[in-house]
Amino acid sequence: MDAQAIIDLLTPLVPGAVLSPCSGGADADATPAIWASGAHLVPVCFALRDTPGLEFHAFSNATAVDYHPRRTPRFDMVYHVVSPHRRARLRVKAQLGLDQSIASVTAVWAGAGWCEREIYDLFGIVFDGHADLRRLMMTEDWEGHPLRKDYPVQVRKDAQTYMPLQVTAEEFRANMERDRYSRTRAK
Each domain of the chain, given as residue ranges in start order, spans 3-159
Give me the mean pLDDT over the 70-83 stretch: 93
- The predicted-structure confidence for 140-174, as pLDDT tens digits, reads as follows 888 899 999 988 876 566 666 666 677 788 888 88
How far is residue 172 from each of residues 175, 179, 182, measured CA to CA in Å? 5, 11, 15
> Is pTM beyond 0.85 here?
no
Dihedral sign (CA 128, 56, 73, 40): negative
Q: What is the pLDDT of residue 25?
A: 44
- Return the CATH architecture of domain 3-159: 2-Layer Sandwich (3.30)
